């Protein structure tokens, strides 16, 4: 038993190498500061130094009914926020409905996926505001219309080519 211990120690000594290169006085005795990564003493074994408290966002109410049998979507050309003539009838129908019903409406502007998120949010806003202006021109009080944008965040269709992009460049009329 003793021999084994002596042999193990001898082997350890060889590997730890108290041989060349390092003077004993060069090694500071113990310069450890012992800082605690985790605050608190014994018993706080589970506490993290940097906790993150999870939060769940509550879902919001969905859309309500509007005029029946009328499209709610106006589509736009690339890099454009001009309401094209072919969508004027959609605008007309919603304007008529809003003039005779005391409802509020939110116009949601969208872009296709190309480009930066914040800049696309602003481009989508141009589209929703164009529809808001068009409704205003037809007599809908501005105070009943809110124009917002989803930018590229809520595409109607996934896909990396023009057929999908064309479906995503839109403003949606939403009665909340």
Partner 1 sequence: MSEPVLWRRRELAAFLGAVAAGPALAQFRVEVTGVGLTQLPIAIAPFRGEAEVPQKVASIIQADLERSGMFRAIDGTAGAGLDETSRPDLAPWRQRTADSLAVGSVTRLADGRFDVRFRLWDVVRGESLAADGFVAAPGDLRLAAHRIADMIYEKLTGEKGVFSTRIAYVTKAGPRYNLWVADADGENAQSALASNEPIISPAWSASGRQLAYVSFESRKPVVYVHEIASGSRRLIANFRGSNSAPAWSPDGRTLAVTLTRDGGSQLYTIASTGGEARRLTQSAGIDTEPLYSADGRSIYFVSDRGGAPQIYRMPAGGGAAQRVTFTGSYNISPALSPDGRWLAYISRISGAFKLQVMELASGNVTSPTDTTADESPSFAPNGRLIIYATRQGGGEALMTTTLDGKIKARLPGRGGDIREPDWGPFQR
Q: What are phi and psi of 109, to 5 degrees?
A: -95, 145
- Least distance between partner 1 and beta carbon 171 (Å): 13
- 19 vs 68, which CB is nearer to partner 1? 19
For residue 145, the SS3 value is strand
- 91 vs 130, which CB is nearer to partner 1? 130
- 71 vs 174, which CB is nearer to partner 1? 174
- 21 vs 65, which CB is nearer to partner 1? 21
Degrees (nearest 5) of the Cα angle 120, 122, 127? 95
- Least distance between partner 1 and beta carbon 116 (Å): 4
- 96 vs 126, which CB is nearer to partner 1? 126
**How many whole angstroms separate alpha carbon 34 and alpha carbon 39?**
12
- Least distance between partner 1 and beta carbon 89 (Å): 26
DSSP codes of every residue in 118-144: HHHHHHHHHHHHHHHHHHHHTT--GGG
**How many whole angstroms separate alpha carbon 126 and alpha carbon 122?**
6
- Least distance between partner 1 and beta carbon 129 (Å): 7
- Least distance between partner 1 and beta carbon 46 (Å): 6
Element containing residue 8 per DSSP (H, E):
helix 2-16
Q: 148 has which bridge partners? A: 108
């Amino acid at each position: 038993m003793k021999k084994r211990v002596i042999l193990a120690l001898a082997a350890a000594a060889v590997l730890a190498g108290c041989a060349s290169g390092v003077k004993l006085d060069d090694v500071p005795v113990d310069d450890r500061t012992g800082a605690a990564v985790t605050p608190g003493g014994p018993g706080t074994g589970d506490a993290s130094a940097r906790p993150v408290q999870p939060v769940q966002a509550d879902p919001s109410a969905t859309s309500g009914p509007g005029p029946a049998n009328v499209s709610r979507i106006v589509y736009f050309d690339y890099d454009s926020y001009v309401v094209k003539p072919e969508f004027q009838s959609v605008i007309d129908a919603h304007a008529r409905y809003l003039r005779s019903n005391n409802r509020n409406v939110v116009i949601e502007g969208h872009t296709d996926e190309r480009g930066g998120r914040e800049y696309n949010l602003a481009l989508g806003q141009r589209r929703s505001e164009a529809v808001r202006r068009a409704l205003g021109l037809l007599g809908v009080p501005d105070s009943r219309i809110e124009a917002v944008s989803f930018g590229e965040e809520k595409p109607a269709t996934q896909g990396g080519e023009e057929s999908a992009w064309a479906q995503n460049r839109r403003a949606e009329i939403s009665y909340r």
